[in-house]
Chains A and B, each alone.
Chain A
Amino acid sequence: MSTNAKLLYCRCAYAQVVPQAVKDEVLMKLCESVAGFESVADLCEMAAHRDERLKALAANGPLRIAACYPRVVKGLFTQCGAPLSDDAEILNMRAQTADEVTAGMLCDA
């Protein structure tokens, strides 16, 4: 687990496969914290059009991401020519509870 990881929250807004209650609660908890963080509407949408920001995110230090299945998130970045570093951490809002995701995201807050 890397300290001082940059935080990224994915809203999954284009097809909403992440349960609404989980993503709302995770966002609320991030907003209750003092942490600065990045948030994007939909990592899949960004990957679909090879958004250069994925490269910027992957290149800019260790990342901790709240999105969905780690295999998918890694694959999306790789497919855009922006592979995540080995120390990237991915929290899964499709399978974990909001508390688990938040605890993982804010573990060094």
Chain B
Amino acid sequence: MITHTHRPLRLVLYEGEGAITLSAEARAKVMAALLDKGYAVTRATANGTAAMPHDDRSLLVLGLFPDQKAPVLVDSTGKVNIEARDITGLDAESVVLLVEKTRGTTPMNQPGVWKPWFPVIDYSRCTNCMQCLSFCLFDVYGVSGDGKIQVQNNDNCKTNCPACSRVCPEVAIMFPKYSAGPINGDVVSEADLGREKMKVDITSLLGGDIYARLRDRSVAAKSRFSKERSPDKALEERKKCLTKMAQDGFIPAEVLAALPSPEEIMRKAEEAKAKAAAALEA
């Protein structure tokens, strides 16, 4: 589920033909102020081409125009609503106010309210082992149509909780806003490969060596697995693992408080097991 959908209004700081150039300092101040408010800003010069094609809904063009008159702009395709505003004599703060006024009540994500916190998978390292899927109690992970692990419900992720990065045996899970490497995306060293792994037997979280057995596809192995599985042990292991991470200060205490009930955890474990089994058997 992805709920943060109010994407930022795109602005164009126009300094091409027919507009007067800003000083470098004024330009940097205006751009920083708008970016810090959450807007996307294109600097359009006579020399540069825009990297982003036009926005599909609306565009606000800012510039120093002759006689302080913003031109009337119309999109020839009729798909984009383009408005222009003259910013002659305005400081960065006043430009932000003008933009906010022009945006009106159109909703937009803005910094300060919410932190983009979710796992990002480095597929060049991921072996599709599904341990993250089994570990996460908040349904952040899922499996794609072609059997690949995916981050599907990033809004479910608990802010500041990077726990799943610790259970990934390949150090393939990153949290971009985390403070330290390799979880923040820094290069993975050999030492990280040993250190970052949770010192817990993740397979015991599901009460048995499910993954090895699924890879060894013999029917006999599967039936043995179902007999050996112990729900109590699975629950205990999971709690032990999360409690240890909270004690180490690696995950926020709120995450422990937000854990589902034991019954729910077991139900989720069953679901994860089924998803992982289907993906690994495909």
Contacts and interface: CB of A to CB of B under 8 A. Distances in A.
A78 B176 CA distance: 14
B32 A68 contact: no
Interface residues of B, number: 59
Nearest to A73: B185
Given A75-B185, A76-B176, A39 B41 contact: yes
A34 B45 contact: yes
A76 B52 contact: no
B28 A27 contact: yes
Given A63-B51, A69-B185, A44 B111 contact: no
B22 to A, nearest CB: 9
B2 A68 contact: no
10 contacts: A32-B24, A35-B43, A36-B43, A40-B35, A41-B35, A41-B40, A48-B2, A51-B7, A60-B51, A75-B122
B56 interface: yes
A42 B179 CA distance: 16
A72 B184 contact: yes
A87 interface: no
Main secondary structure of the interface of B (DSSP, over half): loop
A31 interface: yes
Nearest to A32: B24
A27 B187 CA distance: 25
A38 B109 contact: no
B31 A31 contact: yes
Interface residues of A, number: 51
Residue among B4, B42, B51, B185 facing the most chain A CB atoms (10 A cut-off): B51
B28 A31 contact: yes
B8 interface: yes
Interface string A1-34: 0000011100101110100000010011011101
A37 B48 contact: yes
B121 interface: yes
A71 B111 contact: no
B168 to A, nearest CB: 13
A36 B116 contact: no
Interface string A67-109: 0111111111011000000000000001100000000000000
A40 B109 CA distance: 13
A36 B49 contact: yes
A78 to B, nearest CB: 6
A95 B184 CA distance: 11
Contacts of B111: 13-14, 41-42, 45
